[in-house]
Structure 1
Amino acid sequence: MSEDDSIPAPETSEKPAEKSPERRRSWLDRISSAFSGEPSSRDDLVALLRDAQSDGLIASDTLRMMEGAIAVSELTVGDVMVSRSQMVSLPIAARFLDLMKEVVESGHSRFPVHGENKDEVLGILLAKDLLRGVVADNGPGNVRELLRPAVLIPESKKLNLLLKEFRLSRNHMAIVVDEYGGVAGLVTIEDVLEQIVGEIDDEHDDAEEGVDQIAAHADGRYVVDALTPIADFNERFGADFPDDEYDTVGGLVTAAIGHLPDTDEELTLGAFEFRVAKADARRVHAFHVSVLSSDH
């Protein structure tokens, strides 16, 4: 009996070896309450996830995606859409050769096709359908025959609902209309997914060859492209920022701030002050960087 009574002893002796037991209990209390049906806010849930990342329970990349997934339910189409002025829309009356030229120059794969003006959207033209029409044995036919139906959605539509519709309908583009029925812009499935996983680059998104991603200004500041590799930043300024978790300056600074920053938000990292020079609902594009130490 006395030997049996001593069996729990090793279990209690292991408890003191745990790191920060009070903090872990607090974390477990919070996560249990989050799923117990008790009232809680999104901010509480995000704080909970950040605690989990700090405790090493989830990776930083996973945290960013989980935060993005939470944010998607709060964002609307109007927050991420490509505005009407930036749309690449093709006129129905254009010749096939002119359409092909526009496809090649833009690098896009889907295009709204309009009638007399951009508000008259007739359908969506896929680059692959256009190519098939051009190389067809019987020659190019009517562009209308290649169009696919256009999906129209309001600016106020939530992104999580749009993503579900994209998945069910297998559409990758929707035309955004304003309250008067006019075309306000367009949104693609990539625009939505980038809110969760971050910027999705393809061969057309690469920085132009020869363009300096770090430009010096006369006032002593620098303009740094957010996609500048951390290794390049370190080499330019003699810095030693780690690049094991983040590849770019934008990823490093955004993670340090703890959220997607707005224009003019500031953060000091080491000997550098970063001020957001340009940002939108999807990502940071550029920083103004000041060197605080006197040895640069």
Structure 2
Amino acid sequence: MNSESRLPDTPDPGPADPEPEQGSGRGFFGRIFGRAEPTEEPASPAQPAPGMVNLRRMRVHDVAIPKAEIIAAPLNITLDDLVTMFREHGFTRIPVFRGTLDSPLGLIHLKDLALKHGFGAGGKFTLRPMLRPMLYVPPSMPIGILLQQMQTRRIHMALVIDEYGGVDGLVTIEDLIEQVIGEIEDEHDEDEGGLWVSEKPGQWLIQARAPLAEVEAETGIRLATDEEGDEVDTLGGLIFMMIGRVPLRGEVIAHPSGAEFEVVEADPRRIKRVRLRMPNVATATDRPKRAEAKAQAAE
């Protein structure tokens, strides 16, 4: 990918308060950022609490999703596969690349796809004309500057580009706003009816912030020793203590009791939702294997 396709119109993050093109039409975030000039204050090693100070203290690399977790589509993807990707991951925007993710072309918005090919519209599927532009930013950019650029240019997704010109991560406007006001739950986020929902006997989908004692009472499993119970209060805290890091989405962590924790939703900073399976509950991949084994034994 040449430099033109990699870094189109990437604004210089130098001046903390660039003059807007339309005078007073800077908007709410623009007026706030005028008082949030980035400083040389280093980011705290711990995850900071939400607040305005994060706009100048935190950098893009502090909030970006790592490259390994980016869900992106190749330019030659079929319509059915693209629809499946939107359905499975629940995103409204997906980056599109040519060849590899290091050669991004833009993003496809679910609304554009639905208006063009949904509701029985049919027609020949061509992805390239529907692509929207993305921002391309360095990992060291203050998140306040990026948030202002996203508001001004009305582009709500950015790829993080490393010093060698490759893609290093992805960040959305929601990721940035959450650093100021806390986690955002929108109408598409699943309502768990509380902190957990029983999916079937012996299996629960649980919010990582659920109190550990309440999870133990619901499931009947002793998850924490007395010492661990004194140090952590939530299910997510227990999992973090068990492996010493924030797990990746899709990772499965075995508990000494025989139970399993499947990380359903997480970002680089925290665990969000976990699927807890009792030791005797078969996974979707285990069931065919067990059925095959039983059939062979019967023969």
Q: TM-score range by the shorter chain?
A: 0.5 to 0.7
Q: Aligned residue for 2:153?
A: 169
Q: Aligned residue for 1:190?
A: 174
Structure 1 gaps of 5+ residues are 1-40, 43-63, 215-224, 238-267, 287-296
Q: Aligned residue for 1:131?
A: 114
2:169 is paired with a residue whose SS is strand
CA contact (8 A) 1:199 1:282 kept: no
Query: Does 1:274 pair with 2:218?
Result: no
Of 69, 77, 80, the residue aligned with 1:86 is 69
Larger Rg belongs to: 1
CA contact (8 A) 2:66 2:268 kept: no
Deviation at 1:236, TM superposition (A): 6.1
Q: Quote the sequence identity (%).
A: 33
Give distance in 2, aligned partners of 1:181 and 1:272. 46
Give distance in 2, aligned partners of 1:227 and 1:70. 24
CA contact (8 A) 1:213 1:228 kept: no
Give distance in 2, aligned partners of 1:234 and 1:72. 38
- Closer, same or farther: CA 181–174 of 1 in aligned 2, 3 Å: same
2:107 is paired with a residue whose SS is strand
Give distance in 2, aligned partners of 1:107 and 1:226. 20
Give distance in 2, aligned partners of 1:99 and 1:122. 16
Q: Aligned residue for 1:70?
A: 53
- Closer, same or farther: CA 134–150 of 1 in aligned 2, 3 Å: same
Deviation at 1:281, TM superposition (A): 6.2
Give distance in 2, aligned partners of 1:176 and 1:97. 29
Q: Aligned residue for 1:154?
A: 138
CA-based RMSD: 3.6
* Post-superposition CA distance 1:149-208 (Å, at most 9, x none): 121111111111111111111111011111101011110011111111212234345566
- Structure 2 counterpart of 1:76, one-letter code: R
- Closer, same or farther: CA 284–131 of 1 in aligned 2, 3 Å: closer
- Closer, same or farther: CA 141–273 of 1 in aligned 2, 3 Å: closer
Deviation at 1:72, TM superposition (A): 2.7
Of 180, 186, 189, the residue aligned with 2:164 is 180
Higher relative contact order (CA 8 A, sep 6+): 2
* Post-superposition CA distance 1:14-48 (Å, at most 9, x none): xxxxxxxxxxxxxxxxxxxxxxxxxxx98xxxxxx
CA contact (8 A) 1:194 1:282 kept: no
1:73 is paired with a residue whose SS is helix
- Closer, same or farther: CA 208–117 of 1 in aligned 2, 3 Å: farther
- Closer, same or farther: CA 283–69 of 1 in aligned 2, 3 Å: farther
Q: Aligned residue for 1:95?
A: 78
1:124 is paired with a residue whose SS is strand
Give distance in 2, aligned partners of 1:72 and 1:115. 33
Of 94, 106, 116, the residue aligned with 2:89 is 106
Deviation at 1:141, TM superposition (A): 3.5
Of 98, 101, 104, the residue aligned with 1:118 is 101
Deviation at 1:226, TM superposition (A): 3.5
2:160 is paired with a residue whose SS is strand
CA contact (8 A) 1:176 1:183 kept: yes
Q: Which has the higher helix share?
A: 1
TM-score, normalization by structure 1: 0.53
Of 203, 206, 209, the residue aligned with 1:227 is 209
Give distance in 2, aligned partners of 1:128 and 1:201. 20
2:117 is paired with a residue whose SS is helix
Give distance in 2, aligned partners of 1:231 and 1:131. 45
Give distance in 2, aligned partners of 1:83 and 1:141. 30
